Chain A
């Protein structure tokens, strides 16, 4: 009888089940397609962009979209389409890069706090609480003032201020998992700690960490643009959605195309990442049905 049942049940791995659940969410799939396209475009931006981002055409300033300049030109006659491509590239770089920093710091602090417990846990969580309650954008601005306004320093600054949520998440999971029944069972059977961490704890943490990172990317993107908007982001002439909007807002009554295109691509990118994050959250939660 047991044999009959086990023959009928087809084993589905966690990841293929998750992929199946993800595919059922149409908006998440659309978002993923959009993100894949913009990542590919961003890698090849220097070859795709029709003009360099800083090449002025003084005979063609404030031009409306045309065959020559697809998305028009700005106050210096620079091609808006090319500038937008570079801005998108910078945004993605900071969005993804900052999450690598978040991952490293968050996982280290969270797992030390979770595994050690006691005084170290209390101390680390106090620091995390401060970071969590503090308007971290202030720290971003101060860090950028101190470290300089390059793309790399901006992504490090965003990462340095954004790890509190990740640290809390990892700590909570470690605290639960280290005493979870299946871990106790493995320990009772004589499994080594390193084996338990590799085989049971890490795989179980992966899903929530991926979801948290997916939501962190749009966060990093808007901080990068926000810094540029107030003049603390990448240095001009390097474009960012923030400094393009900041420059365009002064001419918005006469030349709204200088703002419309950056705003639309920016908003679309944020939406796409959020839909993918939503899709991942539903897909990677093992309690939702297959």
Chain B
């Protein structure tokens, strides 16, 4: 029963956080120069508006305001937006008025999701063994080399790693194409670029977690009982040292999504990150708010999932 109560409380917190984030975003946009709804920009996009009389223009603007729900006070706009947003109805965007935002997002979400999942898989599948090896070969060159690259991976941003890979793998060795997202060959560099940061963090964390466990009393007891290295590490140390790794994956998710924004633009991957950047550069406010909504909701829900998994793995954790 505790688990369900815990999940409900967390979902409520997520709901509140999102409401706050959206309110802040709306208020910020209200203060934006050129206002939430820019008439000059609207005229430019409408194109033939200049041939209209001022009266016709007023009618047109009124219709526009009605379509985007801008003819009500700010608090009501926020309310209307949130009411629909939690049912995944976002209305049309400025830049693409004929297609509802949820359709645009549904088309791009699988791309970003694939990129994120592949990167995270890479980070976990490589990061954990690397961390284990570094811990077991502590203070040897294996450890130093692993930790050096782990440090580089955690401080050099994803897009810089992407550019460096293009320089080596495309320009110098001519192995991989510089952009795109159709063939597996085109996916290699974006996935590595996004995944390397989390990989480095996981490897580092895994190393310290395992070293920590190896210093525990019960490991000494196991050795005293005459256990071999292999048996002790496999049966006692590894299992317990893996548990804290789950906690590091949660915060890495926010980081990962930031990485995809850049990488999608660098490698021309048609995902949510690209949609978001286009929205920002074109001042497409409905799309910008919705990107914020979707990304923060995804990150928070995945954080919740991570916490639930963590509680399952570690029986000492109580749902508070």
A residues apposed to B, CB below 8 Å:
127, 130, 133-138, 141-143, 145-146, 148, 218, 222, 225-226, 229-232, 245, 249, 252-253, 256, 259-260, 263, 266-267, 270-271, 274
Contact = CB atoms under 8 A, between A and B. Distances in A.
B33 A148 contact: yes
Q: Classify chain B's interface size.
A: 35 or more
A259 B165 CA distance: 12
A25 B291 CA distance: 44
B277 A230 contact: yes
Contacts, number: 111
18 contacts: A130-B21, A134-B296, A134-B299, A135-B258, A135-B295, A138-B276, A138-B296, A142-B25, A142-B292, A143-B28, A218-B155, A225-B157, A230-B265, A232-B277, A252-B166, A263-B164, A263-B167, A270-B157
A130 B283 CA distance: 25
A48 to B, nearest CB: 25
A274 B153 CA distance: 12
B281 A245 contact: no
A256 B151 CA distance: 26
B3 interface: no
A229 B292 contact: no
B32 A146 contact: yes
Interface in B7-25: 17, 20-21, 25
B166 A142 contact: no
A226 B157 contact: yes
A169 to B, nearest CB: 16
A227 to B, nearest CB: 10
Given A130-B17, A135-B295, 18 more contacts: A133-B251, A133-B299, A133-B300, A133-B303, A134-B21, A134-B254, A135-B296, A135-B299, A137-B258, A145-B283, A146-B28, A146-B29, A146-B32, A146-B33, A222-B157, A263-B167, A267-B156, A271-B152
- Consensus secondary structure, chain B interface: helix
B125 interface: no
A141 B299 CA distance: 17
Nearest to B296: A134
B55 to A, nearest CB: 33
Contacts of B157: 222, 225-226, 270
A35 to B, nearest CB: 14
A135 B254 contact: yes
B296 A267 contact: no
- Consensus secondary structure, chain A interface: helix
A143 B33 CA distance: 12
Given A145-B280, A229-B159, A253-B171, A138 B292 contact: yes
Interface in B46-64: none
B205 interface: no
A138 B295 contact: yes
B170 interface: yes
Given A253-B178, A270-B156, A130 B20 contact: yes
A274 B155 contact: yes
Nearest to B14: A133
Nearest to A140: B258
A142 B262 contact: no
A13 B247 CA distance: 39
A276 to B, nearest CB: 12
Interface of B: 17, 20-21, 25, 28-29, 31-33, 151-152, 155-157, 159-160, 163-164, 166-167, 170-171, 178, 251, 254-255, 257-258, 261-262, 265-266, 276-277, 280-281, 283, 288, 291-292, 295-296, 299-300, 303
A33 B156 CA distance: 20
Contacts of A231: 277, 281
Contacts of A145: 29, 32, 280, 283, 288
A235 B5 CA distance: 50
A141 B25 CA distance: 11
A134 B293 CA distance: 11
A142 B257 contact: no
A167 to B, nearest CB: 16
A158 to B, nearest CB: 13
8 A-B pairs with least C-beta separation: A146-B32, A137-B258, A222-B157, A135-B254, A274-B155, A230-B277, A141-B280, A130-B17
A271 B155 contact: yes
Contacts of B163: 245, 249, 259, 263
Contacts of B255: 135
B276 A253 contact: no
B29 A142 contact: yes
Contacts of A143: 28
Contacts of B167: 252, 256, 259-260, 263
Contacts of A229: 159, 262, 265-266
Contacts of B283: 145
B101 to A, nearest CB: 16
A135 B257 contact: yes
Contacts of B295: 135, 138
